[in-house]
C-alpha cells in the first residue's frame, strides 16, 4: 500500500525558478551602473571644490609661480565640472535604457547635482574672480558672497521643482506649468555650471588686480552679473530643450552619432572655444526664440 502524500510535500514550482541565479545577479548589477555614474559626478564635484580652495589659497600667498599653479588648479576644476556634466547626462539615459530607475537613484542624482553643479561652481567662480579682486568686508566682496549664495539656492530650487513636476499626478493645478519630455522648465543647473566652467577653462588665470590691473574690477562685476542672470534663468519658466528624444528614431540615431562624433573631435581639438560656444548657444537660445516670437507680427483677422 502506497503512503498518502500530503500536498505540502509536493514540490512547488517557483515562478522565478526558471530564471537562473546568474541572470538575477546580472539584473541586480545593472542597478549599480547608473549609481556609479552619479558617484563619479559627485567625485568630480568634490575634486573641483578642492581645486578651487587650493587655488584660492595660492592666490593669497602671491607670487607669479603660485598664480600659475592656481590657474592650473582652476582649469582642472573647470574640466572636472565638464566631465560631471557628461556623467550626469549618462546616468539618467542609462537608467532609462536598462529600466533601472529607482527612487533612491533619483534622490541621489539630485543631491549630487546640488554639490557638483551648485556648490562647486559657486565656490570656483568666487575663488577665481571676485573673491580675489575685492578686499574682505568691501561692498563688492559682500555682493559676491550674496550672489554665490543665491546661485546655490536657485539651483536647489530648480532641482526641487523638476522633481515635483516629474512625479506629480497628471491632473495639474491651475496656473502650474505643464511638463513635457522634450523640454525643461527653467535653465537646467548642469547647463549653468557648464557655462561657468567653460569661461574659467577659456581663461583660467585668476582675475587678480596685479594681473589684470584696472580691468579686474570691471571683469568681477561682469561675472557677478552673469551669476545673477544664471540664477534668474534657473527659476524662470523659459523652455530649454532636453534632448531626451534625440536618437530614438532610426534616422535620428545616425544623425546623433555623427553630431556627437563631430562635437567630440572639435572639443578635443579646440576645447577652450567649442565648450564656451556650445554653452552660450544653449543658454541664450530660448531668449532669442522668445524675442523673435515677440517681434513677429501677428496675423490679423478681418471681419467680413
Summarised one tens digit per residue, pLDDT across range 87-98 is 988 877 777 777
Is residue 20 assigned to a domain?
no
Residue 108 is predicted with a pLDDT of 85
Is residue 24 assigned to a domain?
no
> In this model, does residue 193 exceed pLDDT 50?
yes
Is residue 247 assigned to a domain?
yes
Cell matching residue 42: 559627485
Residue 187 is predicted with a pLDDT of 92
Distance CA 184, CA 174 (A): 19
- Asked if 192 and 117 count as a contact pair (C-beta separation under 8 A), the reply is yes
Is residue 300 assigned to a domain?
no
C-alpha dihedral over 197, 202, 204, 208, to 10 degrees?
-100
Is residue 100 assigned to a domain?
yes
Distance CA 22, CA 12 (A): 22
Residue 241 is predicted with a pLDDT of 84
Is residue 146 assigned to a domain?
yes
What is the rounded average pLDDT of the residues 17-38?
63
Distance CA 60, CA 67 (A): 9
Is residue 9 assigned to a domain?
no
DSSP state at residue 299: P
Q: Which residue has the higher pLDDT, 36 or 56?
A: 56
Domain range enclosing 249: 29-168+180-292
CATH label of the domain that carries residue 130: 1.20.120
CA angle 157, 159, 164 (to 5 degrees): 95
Is residue 7 assigned to a domain?
no
Q: Which residue has the higher pLDDT, 221 or 10?
A: 221
Number of domains the chain contains? 1
Q: What is the CA radius of gyration of the chain?
A: 25
Which residues contact residue 46 at a Cβ distance below 8 angstroms, ignoring those fewer than 6 apart? 115, 120
Cell matching residue 107: 534622490
Amino acid at each position: 500500500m502506497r503512503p498518502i502524500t500530503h500536498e505540502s510535500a509536493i514540490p512547488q514550482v517557483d515562478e522565478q525558478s526558471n530564471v537562473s541565479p546568474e541572470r538575477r545577479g546580472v539584473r541586480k548589477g545593472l542597478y549599480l551602473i547608473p549609481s556609479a555614474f552619479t558617484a563619479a559626478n559627485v567625485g568630480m564635484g568634490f575634486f573641483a571644490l578642492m581645486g578651487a580652495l587650493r587655488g584660492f589659497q595660492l592666490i593669497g600667498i602671491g607670487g607669479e609661480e603660485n598664480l600659475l599653479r592656481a590657474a592650473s588648479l582652476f582649469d582642472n576644476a573647470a574640466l572636472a565640472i565638464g566631465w560631471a556634466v557628461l556623467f550626469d547626462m549618462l546616468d539618467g539615459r542609462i537608467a532609462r535604457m536598462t529600466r533601472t530607475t529607482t527612487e533612491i537613484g533619483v534622490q541621489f542624482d539630485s543631491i549630487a547635482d546640488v554639490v557638483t553643479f551648485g556648490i562647486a561652481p559657486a565656490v570656483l567662480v568666487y575663488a577665481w574672480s571676485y573673491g580675489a579682486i575685492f578686499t574682505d568686508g568691501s561692498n563688492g566682496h559682500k555682493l559676491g558672497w550674496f550672489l554665490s549664495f543665491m546661485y546655490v539656492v536657485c539651483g536647489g530650487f530648480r532641482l526641487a521643482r523638476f522633481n515635483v513636476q516629474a512625479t506629480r499626478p497628471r491632473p495639474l493645478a491651475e496656473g502650474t506649468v505643464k511638463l513635457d519630455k522634450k523640454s525643461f522648465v527653467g535653465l537646467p543647473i548642469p547647463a549653468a555650471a557648464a557655462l561657468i566652467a567653460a569661461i574659467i577653462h577659456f581663461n583660467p588665470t585668476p582675475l587678480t588686480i596685479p594681473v589684470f590691473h584696472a580691468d579686474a574690477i570691471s571683469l568681477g562685476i561682469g561675472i557677478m552679473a552673469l551669476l545673477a542672470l544664471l540664477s534668474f534663468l534657473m527659476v524662470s519658466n523659459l523652455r530649454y530643450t532636453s534632448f531626451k528624444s534625440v536618437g530614438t528614431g532610426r534616422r535620428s540615431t545616425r544623425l546623433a552619432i555623427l553630431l556627437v562624433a563631430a562635437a567630440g573631435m572639435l572639443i578635443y581639438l579646440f576645447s577652450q572655444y567649442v565648450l564656451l560656444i556650445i554653452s552660450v548657444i544653449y543658454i541664450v537660445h530660448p531668449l532669442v526664440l522668445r524675442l523673435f516670437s515677440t517681434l513677429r507680427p501677428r496675423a490679423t483677422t478681418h471681419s467680413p
